[in-house]
Amino acid sequence: MTHHAPQVQNSPLEQLEQLQSQIVLCRQCPRLVAWREEVARVKKAAYRGENYWGKPVPGFGDSRARLVLIGLAPGAHGSNRTGRMFTGDSSGNFLFAALFRAGFASQPESVSRSDGLELTDCFITAPVRCVPPENKPTPTELKTCSSWFSAELELLERRRVTLTLGRIGHEAFVKFLGLSPRAYPFAHGAEFTLPDGTILLSSYHVSRQNTQTLRLTTSMFDALLERVQTLLEPYP
C-alpha cells in the first residue's frame, strides 16, 4: 500500500508572493522594457542620487482585502523609481492620504517600499506593470500584461468591492470578468452590481492632471471611499 504525502496548499499570501516574484522578472513587451530602463538610467534631476527600480511593479496590499483598487500603470518617477504601486509621486500622495483618512492605510504618505506603510482590507493592482511612454500602453501591451493582472485578481478571493481609477483600469477589469465594457460604461461615481455579486465603483484617476485641475477633488474621492465602507458593511 502506497502512502502519498498530503499536498500542502499554499496560502493566498504565499501564492501572491510567488506570483509577484515572477512579475518582476517579466520582459515580454520590448517597448516597455526599453522605456522603463531608459527612465531608470536617465532619472529625474530631483532623484539623481537614487537607484531606480526600473522593473515591472507587482500589486501591493492585504492578500485578504475586500477592497481592490485598480490603477493604470507605474509612474515614471513614482512606482518605476520606488518599485511599489502609487509610491513616490503626486498620484500616490493624493491616494494614500485618502486611504489613511478612510482607515485602509496605516499612514497618509508613501515615499518608498521601506517606509512602513501597510494597507488593511485593501489591495492595489493595475493592468499594466511597466511605465508606458506618455502613460499610454498599446492594446497589445494591455493584452500581454493581462495574464499577470488576471492571476493576481484570481488570488484575491475576498474581493467584494472593486474601485477602478480611470477608464483603462475600469475596462481592463470588466474584460477580466468576461464582460463587455459597453454594458458597464466608465463614469466617475458609476456603481454596478456584477454577475458574481460583487460591486464595481469607478473614479477618475488620481493623476496630477485630474487632481490639480480639480476634475477630481479630495471631497469627491472621500465620498467614494465612504460609499465603499457602506458597501463592505454586510460582509465579514
Give residue 4's pLDDT.
Answer: 56
Q: Residues near 29 by Cβ (< 8 Å), separated by ≥ 6? A: 130, 140, 141, 144, 145
From the list 51, 19, 56, the residue with the least C-alpha distance to 35 is: 56
Residue 1 located in a structural domain = no
Confirm whether 130 is domain-assigned: yes
Q: How far apart are CA 145 and CA 137, in angstroms?
A: 10
Q: Tell me how far CA of residue 201 lies from CA of 69, 85, 127, 168, in angstroms.
A: 10, 20, 16, 14
134 falls within a domain: yes
CA dist list (Å): 219 to 14, 68, 97, 101: 37, 20, 12, 11
Which domain does 181 fall in, by range?
12-232
Beta bridge pairs of residue 68? 123, 162
- Asked whether residue 7 is domain-assigned, the answer is no
Domain holding 126: CATH number? 3.40.470.10
pLDDT tens digit string along 151-210?
Answer: 999 999 999 999 999 999 999 999 999 999 999 999 999 999 999 999 999 999 999 999
Does residue 87 sit within a domain? yes
Place of cell 512579475: 23
Give the separation between CA 148 and CA 151, rounded to whole angstroms. 5
- Has residue 2 been placed in a domain? no
Distance CA 205, CA 193 (A): 21
For residue 89, CA distances in Å to 41, 106, 112, 120, 205 come to 18, 18, 10, 21, 14
Q: Residue 93: what pLDDT?
A: 96
Distance, CA of 43 to chain centre: 23
Query: Among 98, 92, 24, which residue's Cα sits nearest to residue 59?
Result: 24
Tell me, yes or no, whether 3 lies in a domain. Answer: no
What percentage of residues in the chain have a pLDDT greater than 70? Answer: 96
User: Grid coordinates representing 190?
Assistant: 458609476
> Helix count (H) and strand count (E) of the chain?
8, 6
- The total of structural domains in the chain comes to 1
Region 63-87: what's the mean pLDDT? 97
What value does the mean pLDDT of the chain take? 95
The pTM is what? Answer: 0.94
pLDDT digits (tens, 9 = 90+) for 112-132: 999 999 999 999 999 999 999
Q: Classify residue 86: in a domain, yes or no.
A: yes
Least-confidence region, from 8-12, 102-106, 157-161, 205-209: 8-12
